[in-house]
Amino acid sequence: PKRFALVPAAGIGSRMGGERPKQYLTLLGRPLIQHSLSVLCATPLIDKVFVVLSVADREWGRYDWSTLGPKLTPLFCGGASRADSVLGGLRAISNQTEQSDWVLVHDAARPCLAPWHVEKLVREVANEEVGGLLAVPVADTLKLADVQQHVIRTVPRDSLWQAQTPQMFRYVMLRRALEAAREVTDEASAIEAAGLHPRLVQGDATNLKVTYPLDLHLAEWILRNREE
């Protein structure tokens, strides 16, 4: 089976508070999304890389993507939610995929993806029935609160993980799961809703998601220290 990367990048990044969608913010002189696309295009573990963009996207065409090579294909079929964008992308590539091919869904908003993250995920998920995802064990003590921000109780963190991306599942299983469960914030949730149990592969905190302005500074620091 082949492995395809699918990168949803059709969000507007409202929590960043800027004009420009966060996938196009400048990070070390390049659009944020280009960092993880470079890693996905460069690894021999991935056969093709599809980017799901909004039909209203006005930014993609302003950059030269040819430096990333022939694996990269933009798809202008983004949806109203992340899950809709991923499902739209899966439908758009149906004529290029076999049922048993793997799809690695990676957030455009995670620019610090490193080659070892992809390698470890692929290696550890290769023999799994269902698939899996990068994740990190929760470090903080977690509080469950009411709407007035009073603690109801402390949630034991021993078996809690933070989900990251890439999330790697078989094409047909992922598509079916997302068709059935639309209101999910990641692919694994859809798979879980189908009664299945994705495997967690331990990554690390450098694979952060750029959500708030501080994250952009952290990402810059991480990438800069990795290059040197």
Q: Where along the sequence are the contacts to ligand C5P (CB under 6 A)?
A: 8-11, 23, 52, 78-82, 85, 107-109, 209, 211
Helices and strands per DSSP (H, E), number in the chain:
6, 11
Q: Which residue is nearest to ligand C5P (CB)?
A: 11
Shortest Å distance, C-beta 180 to ligand C5P: 19
The answer for residues whose C-beta is within 8 angstroms of residue 71's C-beta and 6 or more apart is 40, 41, 46, 47, 48, 49
Shortest Å distance, C-beta 158 to ligand C5P: 26
Q: Is 206:222 a contact under the CB 8 Å cutoff?
A: yes
Residue 166 or 198 having the CB closest to ligand C5P:
166
DSSP letters for 119-153: HHHHHHHTT-SSEEEEEEE--S-EEEE-TT--EEE
Shortest Å distance, C-beta 110 to ligand C5P: 8
Going by C-alpha positions, the residue among 206, 218, 86 that lies closest to residue 134 is 206
Residue 128 or 223 having the CB closest to ligand C5P:
223
Shortest Å distance, C-beta 23 to ligand C5P: 5
Going by C-alpha positions, the residue among 197, 205, 187, 200 that lies closest to residue 52 is 187
Residue 110 or 170 having the CB closest to ligand C5P:
110
Residue bearing tokens 């469950």: 144
Residue 107 or 187 having the CB closest to ligand C5P:
107
Shortest Å distance, C-beta 215 to ligand C5P: 10
Q: Is 186:192 a contact under the CB 8 Å cutoff?
A: no
Residue 85 or 189 having the CB closest to ligand C5P:
85
